[in-house]
């Protein structure tokens, strides 16, 4: 993951017009759409192989989102460690009800 994070950071610095990563970094709406799309595809993954593929896609777009805000994966790891140490936990429930098809 550090290698991918470095590539994304490089694309953010250079703004290479031919780079899909640079395009995502310059278009918040496109990046948000890709994040939603990949999260939905992961939620609907029908096999372990498909779940791995969709998780890889989602992690890439999440790293691009972090870079777009000037943040890093290390900060996410720190946040997860803080949450792990907390005594109380949020209930594991969706923030909004599921639509009729059963998928968020």
Nearest alpha carbon to residue 67 among 1, 10, 18:
10
Residue with tokens 């005594």: 87
Fold entry, domain 2-85: Helix Hairpins (1.10.287)
Helix (H, G, I), strand (E, B) or coil at 31: helix
Tokens encoding 15? 């703004």
User: Where on the phi/psi map is residue 102: left (φ > 0), alpha (ψ -120 to 50), or beta?
Assistant: left
For the chain, 104 residues long, the average pLDDT of each consecutive 10-residue run is: 89 84 94 97 97 97 96 94 76 72 58
pLDDT at 98: 67
pTM of the model: 0.79
Residue 61: burial class (beta carbons within 10 Å; 0-12, 13-18, 19+) = buried
Helix (H, G, I), strand (E, B) or coil at 46: coil
Q: What is the residue extent of each domain of the chain?
A: 2-85
């Amino acid at each position: 993951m550090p290698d991918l994070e470095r590539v994304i950071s490089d694309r953010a610095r250079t703004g290479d017009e031919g780079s899909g990563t640079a395009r995502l970094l310059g278009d918040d709406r496109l990046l948000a759409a890709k994040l939603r799309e990949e999260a939905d595809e992961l939620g609907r993954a029908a096999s372990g192989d498909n779940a791995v593929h969709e998780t890889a896609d989602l992690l890439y777009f999440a790293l691009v989102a972090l870079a777009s805000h000037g943040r890093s994966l290390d900060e996410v790891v720190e946040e997860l460690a803080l949450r792990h140490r907390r005594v109380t936990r949020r209930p594991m429930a969706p923030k909004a009800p599921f639509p009729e098809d059963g998928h968020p």
